[in-house]
Each structure stands twice: as structure tokens, then as C-alpha cells.
Chains A and B, each alone.
Chain A
Amino acid sequence: MQQVMPRKKTPTSADESNQFTETRRDFLKQSSLLTAIALTPASVIKAADEKWDQKFAGIFEKVSLHLEVNGTKHDFLLDPRVTLLDLLREELHLTGTKKGCDRGQCGACTVHVNGMRVNSCLSLAVTNEGKKITTIEGLANGKTLHPMQEAFIKHDGFQCGYCTSGQIMSAVACIKEGHAGSEDEIREFMSGNICRCGAYPNIVNAIKEVKEGGLS
């Protein structure tokens, strides 16, 4: 995991047992910060002075972020390198969203950002300030599964299940976008989600059923 620091984190026994490592890490952080200040170019200081920016963070500096994830608001201070995918999995422990290729090629990391499906692995978390994120964990209504989740179970839309959360998030968006008019259209607009087990025909059947109003 890359450096993520939640605000107001309560120390745990696990943290204490790591005391030596933490101390060493703190030392490294502090010395790096001094180096970073020394290395900050004049143009950067000028930019900050002239207030061109809504946000500015030097190297090693953390950036604040406010997100709503599955209806709950969160505040973070984080390294700007952290992707939305790593934030969801490693910080919020929403591990339903999977890391497949981590390069935008497989779709396993698909989540909804302000209602649109995106690859969370290619999105720096800090670029999502103020946005509403929905993950697979936010799809069900309490213990009642989303119709698309029901349909995937009914039609056996998976084998190993690793791509499934991404497939389901994509499938829900596919219908909402109006791209589930035919089997060909479903296949084309689901092509950003790869299934190595090859459950494609069953996935198409699940989407068709939900589109046609079944299982809702």
C-alpha cells in the first residue's frame, strides 16, 4: 500500500507492536520533508503566493480529500499517488472492488463515480474531490441483493468470481446508459470487462433478464 493517512486515526495494539518500524519511518519522513522543502523550486513558491491553485502540494506533502462512498462521507489526507482503487481497498477495506491488471485493461476495478462507471485503478484518488463513489458493497439494499446480483447468481454469470464485482458494476451502468438493447450491443458495451473463465454468455443472459424487467 502507498502512504495513506486517515485523519483522527486511533492507535491500535497492532500499531504499538510496530513501534520500532514506525519510529524509523517517522525519521525518514521528517528528513525527506526537509529535503523536499530545500528542493522546492522558486516557481512553485511563486505559484502558491499568487493563489492560482485550488490545491497545491509539494513533493512528500499530503493532500486533503473528501469523498462520499456508498452514502458515507469520508475525509482523508493522502499521498497524491494513491489511486481510487487502493484507497477503497486498503484504507476503507472495501475489498469487493478487485485489482486485476491495475492498468485499465481488465475492468475488475470498475466502480461508479457520480453515477458513471470508471476504472478506479487509473484514477488518482485526489482527482475525485467531492464526488460520490458507489462500489459493489453499496449496491445491495441491506440484505436484499440488487437485481443484477440476483441475476448473476441465477444465470451462473461467473466461475472464479474475481471479475464479478467489476462485471456487475459495469452491467448496472450498461443498462442505465441504454446500451443493453440487444446481445450484440451488450457485448460491445461490456467489452471493458474481461472474464478469464469465459462466463460471457451467462453474463449477457443476466443483463438481458434485468433489462427486460426480470428479478426486480
Chain B
Amino acid sequence: MNQFQYTRPLETAGAVKATAKDPAAHFLAGGTNLIDLMKMGVVVPEKLVDINLLPLKKIERTADGLRIGALVTNTAVATDPLVMKNFPLLSRAINAGASPQLRNVATVGGNMMQRTRCPYFFDTMMPCNKRKPGSGCGALQGFNRMHAIFGASENCIAVNPSDMNVALTALDALVHISGPKGPRTIKFADFHRLPGDQPELDNNLQKGELITAVELKASPFTKNTDYLKVRDRSSYAFALVSAAVALHMEGNTIAGAALAMGGVAHKPWRLKPVETFLKGKTASDAVFKQAASIAMEGAKAFEYNKFKLKLAPNTLIQALKTAAGIAS
């Protein structure tokens, strides 16, 4: 691991100042991803700004929902009674990721900042436009079994590895950010980005900006939810494909749907056209099959991930059936 300056600010403003003018400075929260990347030489920060003493560790009720501080651990979010009652999809998604040891340390903000698990990104001997812009994409013609089927570019076909992000996208969360130019709030769906010709950028944060909280507005999606994650072993593995499904059911009728998929794109993949299609429909196998075919429009596979073209719609159908209560 490279040597670095280490600083531990007490105030958010201090943390922002400590990184804003320092191009190779990194925030350090739980460290479960960053320390690993530093050991591998994938990320080489000249300065670590340890933000663990910042006052961002509370889950608070707002007038119409919840505000979750960026430093709340994944375990604390997943086991919070208000989250479990009002946003069960989020709790389920978090518990589907990593291991209890990692969730005890990993934070909400850190989970959002998690880098891809593409093996070409991790291997510093391989080309990777995300790690080293302009060096090429090793996965494009390489071993691309885990890779994207939506929104990829010729520069990068990596996927976002987070489960939490998929649920927060479906639930229309808001992201509160502090930065050198003051605070701002953006939609969760606008936080992560597609690779395009700048795959080195995972998200739309500007230099020196720090995530301070995630906010969730009360929604009718409290009962009929499912997070279905398909992976190579039954636990503690990254998703091949996952589906976050929250339905607002009135009897058998779908009054509203919130849907996103994981393991399929560079960002959590929101399924807006499918949500529109499902509104007002009666839950049935046939309707959900149609929904899945809409979801798969525009999908494109590479040599080793063609199985995702079948796995993704099947995963979505199964999660929809479970959420609607018609799974056999």
C-alpha cells in the first residue's frame, strides 16, 4: 500500500475543504472497498480524509419519510425498525449483499461509492478504461460473464456491484450532498452514470463533494416487495442479476410499481417503462411475462454473459410474482 497523509476532520465543512483542492485525496468511511483497492494498487490516494467522526450517523424521521445519514452502517439501516416497516425492500436488498462482518462496517455513502468488481478493473496488469483512461477495455473481448447487458459502451461494460443501490433507485431516494459550492440534492437515479466515453466516472459527484444523507419519502410500497438476487452461490457473492420489486396492490390490481435491476448495467437499472405498463393491470403470470419482455428491450449481451438475456427476465418475473403474492 502506498504511503498517504491521514487526516480526521470533525466537521463536514472541514472534510470538504480537506479534499476539494487535493486531486488525489480520498474520503475514507468504512473502508471495506477502499482499503482493498489500496492493497491491490488500484486506487493510490495521496491523502486519506477519514470522515468517521463526522456527525452523519443518524436515521431521522422527516415530515414525510426518513433521512439516513451517510455514515450509518449497512447493518444499522437494514435492522432499523422504521426502515423495516416502511421500506422493507431496502432492508432486504442490504441483507442480500456482502457478509454480516462487512455490513457492520460498510456505510450508506460508502456503498453508493463502491467501485465495480470487474476483474479487469482489479488487475493492474490488464487494460481498463475505468482504472486507467485510454488503456482499453479488457472485458469487451475477454472474460465477460459478470458484465452489463444494458447501457454499456465500447469503453466499458462493467456493472455496479451494489444491492442497496438497486433498492434506493426503485424507491426514488434523494441524495444530499455537501461540496465546495454548498449543499445540493439530487435524485438517486441521477447519482450513478453510464460509462459513455468517461468510464472512470462512476457517478456525478464533483471534486470535493461528500454525500451527507439519503432521504426516502413515505410511499405505498410497504407490503408487496421482493429483492431477488441470483448469484453463483447461495450467499456472499455479487449478483449475476438481481431484481428489486415494490408493488402497490389494491386487491389483485397493481396501483403502482417501483422496479429496478442490479448486475445488468454500470448503474442501478430503473425500469420506468415497465412501471408504466404495469399500472392498472391485474397481477398474473401473463402480465408479468409481458412486463419482463418490455424490461429486456435494448438488451445486448457479450460472449460469456448471453445467459443473462434469459436469467434477467426470469428473475424479474419471479420477483414480481413473489411481491404480488402469486408465486407458486
Q: Name A's B-contacting residues (CB within 8 A).
A: 2, 41, 43-44, 47, 50, 52-61, 63, 79-81, 83, 102-104, 107, 110, 116-119, 122-124, 126-127, 170, 173-174, 177, 179, 187-189, 191-193
Contacts and interface: CB of A to CB of B under 8 A. Distances in A.
A52 B75 CA distance: 30
Contacts of A50: 14
A40 to B, nearest CB: 8
A119 B6 contact: no
B31 A122 contact: yes
Contacts of A102: 39
Interface of A is mostly: mixed
A151 to B, nearest CB: 19
Interface string B86-127: 000000000000111110110000000000000000000000
A188 to B, nearest CB: 5
14 contacts: A52-B10, A55-B6, A60-B3, A80-B4, A103-B39, A117-B104, A123-B105, A127-B50, A173-B100, A191-B99, A191-B236, A192-B98, A192-B100, A192-B102
A75 to B, nearest CB: 17
A28 to B, nearest CB: 13
B99 A118 contact: no
B36 A122 contact: yes
Chain B interface size, under 10 / 10 to 19 / 20 to 34 / 35 or more:
35 or more
Given A117-B104, A174-B100, A53 B1 contact: no
B101 A192 contact: yes
A192 B236 contact: yes
Contact of B32 (A41, A116, A122, A193): A122
A103 B31 CA distance: 11
Contacts of A191: 99, 234-236
A41 B48 CA distance: 14
A117 B8 CA distance: 24
Contacts of B100: 117, 170, 173-174, 177, 179, 189, 192
B4 A81 contact: yes
Nearest to B36: A103
Contact of B35 (A2, A57, A79, A122): A122
A56 B47 CA distance: 10
B102 to A, nearest CB: 6
